[in-house]
Chain A
């Protein structure tokens, strides 16, 4: 078993290094689909989140609870529902979205909507109430107060979007059912892994998996690094400063 793993890993690295068009095609399609899906989701999720996070109204907790619950919806169940809606006999059959990248993007947008809404609404809702009061005592109107709170939580918003992107990037159910997966034009990294394993191509599946994990981690690390740099924490400078101090002491 260990040999199989090592061999697959070696082959995967070779495929990645050789710029295999099949592998990089799947990478491109994954980024396109999830990027478009995240953009689409943001267009409706952010306004909903701001409304749920900043304004109080009767029944708000029900809607927030609903979005919260939808985070855990199985992707296969959502994929099946969307498949039925997008199939020729479905309500949206005329749009010919089934087995297209745009169809997967729409599916992923729906999948990640609860994540963006819940995370951003929570961040805005839990923003320090003192900041709200502070803005008011400095003469801010309700609109200014809300804009200030949004600006204060902008990194929570970015993190929510990043988490949503990563969720979409790593999901299988929607991409497999709407994209089909067997069609090379709609195969993304996750569906690629599933299909290549079926074909016994562990090396290609492994290459897909490595790229998938590396991209997800790279995005998370990049966002984290930017946040730290923005907040004045310069890890590299701190590191070099630390080295300098240690040398001085020695």
Chain B
């Protein structure tokens, strides 16, 4: 793809080609005595949905938190478009939707406007973006409602809208539909699929095989803090190369 002038969102602005990449090189993370990530190296590209698949405790969330800039790795480095980045920089062009929804004690509009106000967007643009984002997640007209009073599914859709309207280059979803009603889950999945773009990396962590099969373009199977397999969704489910992956797909994995 020919290089073009693209202004990356947030405060991270530089000229780059449309396609972007996020490299994780030899990342390790320990929590006291537990080694959550053991030398993870990956190359994540835009315009596809990448799914971190693995059992609970495999290290998916630890990796997501490092990619979101919430934690620094104990060892290793993250590169964005071949430039090394630290946690603080990562937070300017990534955003994370958590499994357990967190809402500020404000109405839906102010919850959504939070990130945009920090980025000093003008009020008019904030209003336009919020209207569009709420429409995306089918919550138009919810602006004045208190966010904490919404149902779990509605709160998660607000969280999704809040992340989307920042227009970040890296969107991270940590089991975004866990424990949600099918309607909200379907809306969230549909919205995530619609947001695929050349200059956007979408990563979702899940242990739900059906969801991974439905959404993933690329599967990264993480097990016991290590990347076990990287494959296209079709390849992973039809012909897993690794024995652990095969067992995981067949529900035979002991952990």
Contacts and interface: CB of A to CB of B under 8 A. Distances in A.
Are A and B genuine complex partners?
A: yes
A152 B95 CA distance: 21
Interface stretch (A73-81, A113-121, A131-139, A189-197): A131-139
B94 A137 contact: yes
A144 B118 contact: yes
B105 A138 contact: no
Contacts of A144: 118
A137 B11 CA distance: 14
Contact of B118 (A134, A140, A232): A140
A198 interface: no
A138 B115 contact: yes
B205 interface: no
B114 A138 contact: yes
B119 A133 contact: no
B104 A148 contact: yes
Given A231-B146, A232-B149, A139 B102 contact: no
A130 B92 CA distance: 18
A128 B162 contact: no
Interface string B36-80: 000000000000000000000000000001001110000000000
A233 to B, nearest CB: 10
Contacts of B118: 138-141, 144
Nearest to B93: A139
Contacts of B102: 128, 130-131, 133-134
Given A134-B98, A137-B94, A138-B118, A152 B105 contact: yes
Contact of B91 (A128, A130, A136): A136
A3 to B, nearest CB: 53
A23 B86 CA distance: 66
B100 interface: yes
B219 interface: no
Interface in B111-168: 114-115, 118-119, 146, 149, 162-163, 166
Contacts of A133: 65, 70, 96, 98, 102
Interface in A217-232: 231-232
Nearest to A130: B102
Nearest to A233: B149
Given A133-B70, A231-B146, A232-B149, A139 B166 contact: yes
B166 A138 contact: yes
Contacts of A148: 104
Given A232-B146, A232-B149, A137 B70 contact: yes
B149 A131 contact: no
B225 interface: no
B68 A137 contact: yes
A135 B117 CA distance: 12
Contacts of A137: 68-70, 91, 94-96, 163
B10 interface: yes
B217 to A, nearest CB: 23
B10 to A, nearest CB: 6
Interface in A84-99: none
Contacts of B95: 137-139
Most central of A128, A139, A140, A148 by chain B CB within 10 Å:
A139
A136 B70 contact: yes
Contact of A139 (B65, B91, B146): B91
Nearest to B148: A231
Contacts of B94: 137
Contact of A130 (B100, B119, B149): B100
Contacts of B146: 231-232
A208 to B, nearest CB: 39
A231 B94 CA distance: 31
Nearest to B146: A232
A237 to B, nearest CB: 15
Contacts of B115: 138-140
A20 B37 CA distance: 75
B105 A136 contact: no
B143 to A, nearest CB: 15
Given A133-B65, A139-B119, 7 more contacts: A133-B102, A137-B68, A138-B95, A139-B91, A140-B118, A152-B104, A232-B149
Top 9 nearest A-B pairs by Cβ distance?
Answer: A138-B115, A130-B102, A134-B102, A137-B96, A139-B118, A232-B146, A137-B95, A139-B115, A137-B68
14 contacts: A130-B98, A130-B102, A133-B96, A136-B68, A136-B70, A137-B68, A137-B95, A137-B96, A137-B163, A139-B91, A139-B95, A139-B166, A140-B118, A148-B104
Interface of A: 128, 130-131, 133-141, 144, 148, 151-152, 231-232
